[in-house]
Amino acid sequence: MSDFYFLLLPVILLVAVVVIYNGIIGKFNAVDRAWASVLTQERQKNKIIPHVEKLVEEYKLHESSVLADVTRLRNSIDELGKQSSAAPDTVRLAEAERHTASLLQGLKVAVEAYPELKASDLYMKLMAEISEQQEQIGAALRIFNRNVEEFNNAIQMFPGSLVNSLLNHKQPVQSFTDAEAQDGFDYKPNL
Amino acid sequence: MTHNQQVSANITRLKEKIEAATSQHDLVATIRSLEHHPGPLDYKDKPWQVIGLLFMGLGGLALYSVFSRSLPYEFDYFLSVVLFYSQYWLPVAIVVFWQLWREEKGKAGFLSRYFKTPQQRMAVAAGIPMIVVLMPFWGLVYWEGLQILTLLVSGGGFASYELGLPLLLLVTGGIVCWRLYQRKHWRRPLSERISLLDILFNNGLKALPFNGKEKAKELGQQFKEFIRGNDLREIQHLYQGHYEGELHRFDYRLYRFHYVVRRSETYTDSKGNTRTRVVRNSYYRHGLLLHFPFSRGLSLNAGSGISFSGEKYTTASNEFNRVFSVRADEEIVAARFLSPAVIEAMLAMAAEYSRPVLEINAGGDLCFAFSNDDILEHKRTYNLESPVEFASEIAKHDELEKLNGLLFQIHNLMRLTDNNFQL
């Protein structure tokens, strides 16, 4: 009987190692997928650009900064598409987010000069779409950060830390933080 | 008309007025009418209480006599005679009291078709069992019947006419006492009915006419949610409402679904024999039905008991994947529907509702179902026992916060899945 347990123990250990190893791989891939989802949502902004251009054309907003903001946003979305490494490029994403905020600001300024624009159907739909896209990106980032937390826990907590150091060799992933928003706080957590 | 018959007639009139109410104002007026009601509104049940207690007392004594056999000889002899002759007096007493009870309620039954006066009906109700108990076969039927009763109550464990008789007396006395308690407190269920009608008026809900089993069958052809259990399936409540959201407006139906799971259970009886018996467990589900034109052929299942067909889909969220199992006619349908914001919205709904299932069929109709039983919950402090306070309570506008919250969440799903440029 004791021989049976003696043989069973290594089998159980091997199964446990395989499960933990695969778990780490699975969680890493989930982080990768969640980041891809963030980028997909960011690229959805391409959808709004033709509508903004139509708005500029209809209401002759050529003298405003809206067109320049549109160009900058388009470029930053293109840059996101050229990302070469698999690691999340949070800097480029933050840049695209800044240009979105700038475009929104530009549209708000334009509305002040063109009151009829504010009441237009296209403007309202555009603002609803932009606001919804921002909501989607916020949600995608929260999902990404939750997956990052799960992955980091998996490789830093025992026994995952042991399996990772011996077999997986994965590095912790940084969760997404908005540097600009962080600058607004005096408090910085000592992480 | 006797006192109790007058009470029954007054309560019936009150119920009719409540059911005929078309607004909150009608309900309040009906409640206020009770303040100065000429009456009578309370039953005089002393004789019935005595009958109920007599039955229970006799049953208790008979049971005591079976197990202890320590009653004084004379008393025990007298009890044995009473119980022995129960084959004659008990059926007559039960039928006579039953008819008397129905006469009081104003529901004289089929006898009223042939006999016009209560005296005639009472005479017939007493006469028929008298003739039956004098038949030669009656003794056998009666005592065998008591044995079968113990067999049924014990789940096939034992059969004994000695125990069957006390059991019959206790059950009969218990039923009489329970019915007396119910009719003494007739105001409570009526108050609940008024509260429900009030909440329906306040929230723009309208009760729909339907046949419970047929409706469940019809819905079962549209949604898998209604193919639960292996026995009874029925819709118990069905209300229609309308929601005006910031972007979308829609009609919806709110339902309560009852289903039964039947299974065989093995047990060991008192003699150590292994037996099987059929056990039925009831379950209840609630939900919303509405048209959802922004997706079709999709199911998100965080419950158990049903499985959906179609292609399996997992999202980018580990948390969501642990809670929901997603199936769709085509993967692209699920990918389009489950945007990050929708994933978060669904996780919030899963945290709020028990075993939620969201199903959108091929026709674009949505069913969101869950096991929580509080969607129509409305707490009241007063009831018809204090009509003044109850009327003031009913006169207030009372929103169904949980239903409104759910409708808001469904509207949010619409907002997140529609096309803003095609609105």
Q: Calculate mean pLDDT across residues A47-58.
A: 76
Structure confidence at residue A52 as a pLDDT band (50, 70, 90): confident
* pLDDT tops 80 at residue A65: no
SS3 B245: coil
pLDDT at position A84:
52
One domain, residues B297 and B245: yes
User: What is the rounded CA–CA span in Å between residue A108 and residue A112?
Assistant: 7
Taken in order of first residue, the domains within chain A and their CATH numbers are 2-172 (1.20.1440.20)
Interface test with B, best of A41, A143, A176 (most B CBs within 10 A): A143
The whole-angstrom separation of Cα B362 and Cα B192 is: 39
Q: Do A146 and B318 touch (CB under 8 A)?
A: yes
Tell me what pLDDT residue B81 has: 87
Split into its structural domains, chain B has a count of 2
Q: How confident is the model at residue B12 (pLDDT cuts 50, 70, 90)?
A: confident
- How near does any CA of chain A get to the CA of B254, in Å? 29
Interface residues of chain A, partner chain B, Cβ below 8 Å: 27, 30, 33-34, 36-37, 41, 51, 125, 128-129, 132, 135-140, 142-144, 146-147, 150
Q: Domain boundary residue among B139, B154, B184?
A: B184
Residue in B314, B318, B322, B411 to test binding to A, most A beta-carbons within 10 Å: B318
- Asked whether residue B327 is domain-assigned, the answer is yes
Contact A143 B416 (CB under 8 A): no
The CA-atom distances, in angstroms, between A147 and each of A38, A160, B104, B339 are 12, 16, 70, 16
Q: Look at residue B307 and tell me if it is in a domain.
A: yes
Query: What is the predicted pLDDT for the residue at A38?
Result: 86
Contact residues on chain A for B341, CB-CB shorter than 8 A: 132, 135-136, 138-139
**Are residues B344 and A139, on separate chains, in Cβ contact within 8 Å?**
yes
Q: Residues of A with CB below 8 A from B413's CB?
A: none
> What mean pLDDT, rounded, does chain B reach?
88
Q: Write down the pLDDT at residue B77.
A: 84
Q: Which long-range contacts (CB under 8 A, 24 or more apart) does B193-196 make?
A: B193/B18, B194/B18, B194/B27, B194/B30, B194/B31, B194/B384, B194/B390, B194/B394, B195/B378, B195/B380, B195/B394, B196/B376, B196/B378
- Residue B158 and residue B216 in one domain: no
Residues A125, B339: C-beta atoms closer than 8 Å: no
Contact residues, chain A, for B316 at CB < 8 Å: 30, 33-34, 36-37, 140, 143-144, 147
Mean pLDDT, rounded, for B343-370: 95
Same domain, B255 and B369: yes
Flag whether B218 is in a domain: yes
Confidence label for A148 from pLDDT (cuts 50, 70 and 90): very high
For B344, which residue in chain A has the nearest alpha carbon?
A139
Q: Which of B208, B170, B156 is closest to B56 using CA atoms?
A: B170
Cβ pair B421:A36 closer than 8 A: no
pLDDT value for B387: 84
Q: What is the mean pLDDT of residues A177-189?
A: 70
Interchain CB contacts (distance < 8 Å): A and B: 56
Which chain A positions have a beta carbon within 8 Å of B320's beta carbon? 143
Mean pLDDT of B83-92: 88
Judge whether residue A85 has pLDDT over 60: no
Structural domain boundaries enclosing B413 = 204-422
| B13, part of any domain | no
Q: How many angstroms separate the CA atoms of B222 and A17, rounded?
A: 46
| Contacts with A144 from chain B: Cβ below 8 Å | 316
From B17's Cα to the closest Cα of chain A, the distance in A is 50
Tell if the CB–CB gap between B317 and A34 is shorter than 8 Å.
Answer: yes
Give residue A60's region: left, alpha or beta (phi > 0; psi -120 to 50): left
Chain B residue with minimum CA distance to A137: B340
- Residue B383 resides in a domain: yes
Within a domain: B151 = yes
Model confidence at A88, pLDDT cuts 50, 70, 90, reads low
**For A69-77, what is the mean pLDDT?**
78
In a domain, B29, yes or no: no
Q: Is the pLDDT of residue B322 over 90?
A: yes
Q: What is the mean pLDDT of residues A128-140?
A: 85
* Neighbouring-strand partners of residue B366: B290, B360
Q: Looking at the DSSP assignment, which residues form a beta bridge with residue B282?
A: B260
- Say whether both B175 and B231 belong to one domain: no
B370, B283: one domain:
yes
CA nearest B419 in A: which residue? A129
Closest CA to B286 of B372, B347, B400, B346: B372
Probe site for chain B from A55, A130, A136 (most B CB atoms < 10 A): A136
How high is the pLDDT of residue A155? 92
Number of H helices, E strands in chain B: 16, 9
**Which helix or strand (DSSP H or E) is residue B123 part of?**
helix B118-133
Domain end, chosen from B128, B153, B184, is at: B184
Residues of chain A in contact with residue B343, where contact means CB-CB under 8 angstroms, are: 139, 143
Residue A81 is predicted with a pLDDT of 64
Please name the member of B318, B416, B420 whose beta carbon is closest to the beta carbon of A147.
B318
Angle of helix B187-202 relative to helix B3-19, nearest 10 degrees? 10
Tell me what the mean pLDDT of segment A133-140 comes to.
Answer: 87
Q: Are residues B210 and B164 in the same domain?
A: no
- pLDDT of B423 > 60? The answer is no
Nearest to B318 among A41, A128, A150 (CB): A150
CB contact under 8 A, B340 and A140: yes
Q: B225 with B130, same domain? A: no
- Position B231 in a domain: yes
Does B135 or A120 have the greater pLDDT score? B135
Residues B300 and B402 in one domain: yes
Q: Which is more confident, B350 or B151? A: B350
Q: Which of B247, B316, B341 sits opposite A135 (nearest CB)?
A: B341
Q: Are residues B208 and B347 in the same domain?
A: yes
Q: Is the pLDDT of residue B106 over 90?
A: no
Share of chain B above pLDDT 90, in %: 42
Report the pLDDT value the prediction gives residue A95, as an integer from 0 to 100.
78
Q: Spell out which residues of chain A touch residue B247, defining contact as CB-CB under 8 Å.
A: 128
In tens, the pLDDT along B379-422 reads: 888 888 888 888 888 888 888 899 999 999 999 999 999 877 76
Q: Do A125 and B421 touch (CB under 8 A)?
A: yes
B343/A30 CB distance under 8 A: no
Q: Which ranges in A44-65 belong to alpha helices (H)?
A: 49-59
pLDDT digits (tens, 9 = 90+) for B221-232: 999 999 999 999
Contact assignment for A143 to B343 by CB distance below 8 Å: yes
Asked if the interface predicted TM-score (ipTM) of this complex is over 0.85, the answer is no
Same domain as B398, residue B284: yes
**Pair (B214, B141) in one structural domain:** no
Tell me which range, A60-64, A119-123, B259-263, is most confidently predicted by mean pLDDT: B259-263
Mutate which: B324, B337, B339, B412, vs A, most A CBs within 10 A: B339
Q: Are residues B261 and B178 in the same domain?
A: no
Question: Closest partner residue to A128 among B341, B343, B420, by Cβ?
Answer: B420
Q: Are residues A143 and B316, on separate chains, in Cβ contact within 8 Å? A: yes
Mean pLDDT over B188-202 rounds to 91
B243-257 per-position pLDDT tens digit: 999 889 999 999 999
Q: Find all residues with CB under 8 Å of B354, minimum gap 6, and list them.
A: B370, B371, B372
Q: Which of A27, A164, A173 is nearest to A89 (CA)?
A: A173
At B43-62, the pLDDT tens digits run 888 888 888 899 899 899 88
Residue A23: pLDDT band (50, 70, 90) is very high
> What does the pLDDT average to over A125-151?
87
The minimum CA-CA distance between A126 and chain B, rounded to whole Å, is 8
> Is pLDDT above 60 for B33?
yes
At A1 the pLDDT is 59
Residues of B with CB under 8 A from a CB of A: 247, 316-320, 339-341, 343-344, 415-416, 420-421, 423
Higher pLDDT, B195 or A95: B195
Supply the pLDDT for residue B6.
86
Alpha-carbon distance A42 to A45, whole Å? Answer: 6
Which of B130, B153, B184 is the endpoint of a domain?
B184
User: Would the pLDDT of B162 be above 90?
Assistant: no
Cα–Cα–Cα angle for A47, A52, A55, rounded to 5 degrees: 140
